[in-house]
Structure 1
């Protein structure tokens, strides 16, 4: 049975402008510049640079248009628009927040990049040194195209044969593909085209000048690869009837090999990323000084042409229907331009006050660069200091960098949880990880410390931590287990 009833409730929803502002705050400097260009391309009423003429400094009065709707039903008549409010607007916003703004005569500095060929194209070029018929060349080029960025062909020969038949119309046999693979394995860098790590290492060893150590290393990889990977050195010594010194020399030869031959290619066609610091922190007379990258504070104003169009409409006696439509469009673009200028100013203020709070919270660390002096800090600590929402602080911290006297840092690296030492004092987990890393670096590599002994050592140093926590921190530091750290 269907029933109708009324239900009153109060709910908060973000306006489209608020959502756009949050997206602007989240953008790092380079992405923000791209977003700025997109907005200027979409809105002809928004222009960069300072206005040449000096207009009366009055703000746009847009509150009277809050109920404006582009729909036909609620459309505002053109005669009701106060054109003078737009003509006498503040075209250049007042950016007073500290920023290392560039002067007008500064040139845009761009890092030049060398033009290079791709990894796969380099391999294709090397094939030109081999004498191949058309069919063999087609197969060879297909195999090169199947090599990933690390230099491996991670597919079986049978799959390659089937794929060539279905997608390229190349009908061949596994035996012929194997023969072409041998040619691929002659290309540089050595080891390229291998189907797994074992084959990659063997290809590199076979290109070395034969010595006792190289021959032993080859035998180990060929016959006892699993024992080598698991570092069962006693088993290897017994299997090959060798001394510790002989095994050590063979392992040294293996460690000199490249497990990712494709990654070593200098012309690899990966996107080169330049980190542009969003903030800069300097030490001036023993005090910290924060500046916001000036590229985050562009000079924008409303187009003078659009203002003149509004003036022309105002002075026109006969206002046609098309002119009324035009002034509605102009008003919409002017509103959008004014909001975007205000949003940039608000973004700039938000970035600065948030980073300023982080800087003062971590003042001890930023003055001397000792990571053990990083204080435990969570998003809520900064949000409470600046009166912003936690999500806003998160948007500032997650994707932005700050240049410090000790290098360029990702801001979120300043945040860490707190743990108590044996004296009841709160210390940062970053400090504990650093001590753990130093302890592992100083251990006897012939008898590396297991996690339970590491826990005992940190406890003696005043950090009572469980073994499972040690394991978690070790994994976060990408440090293998004790057995895998063992060396002869």
Structure 2
């Protein structure tokens, strides 16, 4: 039997403007500038400040605070698309001629181009080195295939049999394992030393064999060849008995091994990477024992709605001519004006959101920002800041997750100031950041010949007033990227 029911349901949906605003809030300074340029290129009704204003921002990009949010507004008149004549205001070209003309160059000026460096890739560098070897065509094909099998860290992660089969199926090169092994020895002669190794042990051996033979180097080779497992597990007593050497001799041999590069390809690829610079979104300064917060001026651009577009709308309103084409054109202009005004309002809201959020964080962690001692960081979660400024937790998260602040103690990521709370033996809440800092100090002060296991570290922390479990110590140690006790052992 069919039945009809009437049901009321209340649901919340984000408008496209709200979604765009959240994305703007999440953007750090550099990404925000790129988004701003894209919007200005797409919307001719949105214009930036004067040349003098731009020079001012370049001179002092942090010379903005909460009072600098006054952008030029335009008359928010509800323009109508009726009774409009646009013939004399619409050009057949989207870009006016005056914007594309230049008068500061003569006909005989040279058209100079800036040269760009074209770095050689890691694999191309290895191929170039192969050209210095006398090889037959078949040997060169195999050698180039082997070089192509090397990953960015400098290793060949495949067996010789797999390589032989792959060359036969994909390249039509028919050979055997013995021949490939022979050509692999040639690849092992390439720089950087250790490239083309199939595992860490072979990589270290190749590098050691390229060194000038000394007593320490020869002992290092024996250790890697015969007792690699004992070495990786730092069973130094076993190594002393096996090779019948003194502690000083073993220490020098281990120092030789520690100088080696376990990722020979990484040093090459890393040299060609573009250095990424962090642009602080905020700056905190201490003036007369008081904290002063400033928002990076690049986050507060001078924007206004095009006066030309506003004049067109007013003129169109007074016109008596009518046509469908004119109405469509006016509707387009009105859409661009509305979009420009919304974007300016969104920028202002973004600035205010960033400032009030960072201001709340600064006052919450005032002791740290005045002193710089990380042990003075208070437990702070997103909800604490959200409650202080009356914003949603997700909004605070977007601000904290990708923004940096320039402090007297270095440039910090905002999310580093957030931490959970734990109770010490005095019943006081302390930040997990403080406990991690104490843990780092305890490990730094330990006897490296007998590193402390996690249970002993937990006991030491309890003695200092931080009663936490062994598994919690292990978790914090891993978060600090500190290895287990056995791997911290030194001679």
Using structure 1 for the length normalisation, give the TM-score: 0.85
Does 1:141 pair with 2:181?
no
Any residues of structure 2 matched to 1:51-450 within 5 Å, and which?
Answer: 59-61=74-76, 78-79=81-82, 116-265=119-268, 268-450=271-453
Counterpart Cα distance in 1 of 2:76 and 2:308:
20
Counterpart Cα distance in 1 of 2:356 and 2:118:
41
8 Å Cα contact 1:118-1:268 kept in structure 2: no
Shift of 1:323: 0.7
How many residues are matched?
443
Shift in alpha-carbon separation, 1:267–1:449, aligned structure 2, 3 A: closer
8 Å Cα contact 2:204-2:262 kept in structure 1: yes
1:29-49 per-residue CA deviation (whole Å, 9 max, x = no partner) reads: 111111112222222222222
1:215-266 per-residue CA deviation (whole Å, 9 max, x = no partner) reads: 1211111122112111222322333333333322221211111111122227
Counterpart Cα distance in 2 of 1:309 and 1:60:
13
- Map of 2:13 onto structure 1: 13
8 Å Cα contact 2:201-2:224 kept in structure 1: yes
Counterpart Cα distance in 1 of 2:430 and 2:176:
64
Shift of 1:58: 6.3
| Of 256-265 and 238-247, the range deviating more from structure 2 | 238-247
Shift in alpha-carbon separation, 1:209–1:285, aligned structure 2, 3 A: same
1:430-485 per-residue CA deviation (whole Å, 9 max, x = no partner) reads: 11111111111111111111111111111111111111111111111111111111
Counterpart Cα distance in 1 of 2:243 and 2:296:
62
| Of 264-273 and 380-389, the range deviating more from structure 2 | 264-273
Shift in alpha-carbon separation, 1:178–1:303, aligned structure 2, 3 A: farther
Counterpart Cα distance in 2 of 1:119 and 1:128:
15
8 Å Cα contact 2:455-2:470 kept in structure 1: yes
1:123-180 per-residue CA deviation (whole Å, 9 max, x = no partner) reads: 2332232223333333333332332222222222222233334444444433332222
8 Å Cα contact 1:116-1:267 kept in structure 2: no
1:65-94 per-residue CA deviation (whole Å, 9 max, x = no partner) reads: 9xxxxxxxxxxx72299x9xxxxxxxxxxx
8 Å Cα contact 1:119-1:269 kept in structure 2: no
Counterpart Cα distance in 1 of 2:187 and 2:459:
52
Shift in alpha-carbon separation, 1:446–1:203, aligned structure 2, 3 A: same
Counterpart Cα distance in 1 of 2:401 and 2:151:
31
SS at 2:82's partner residue? helix
1:183-202 per-residue CA deviation (whole Å, 9 max, x = no partner) reads: 22112211112111111100
Counterpart Cα distance in 2 of 1:378 and 1:249:
48
**Which runs of no fewer than 5 residues in structure 2 stay unpaired?**
53-71, 87-114
**Which runs of no fewer than 5 residues in structure 1 stay unpaired?**
66-76, 84-111
SS at 1:79's partner residue? coil
Using structure 2 for the length normalisation, give the TM-score: 0.84
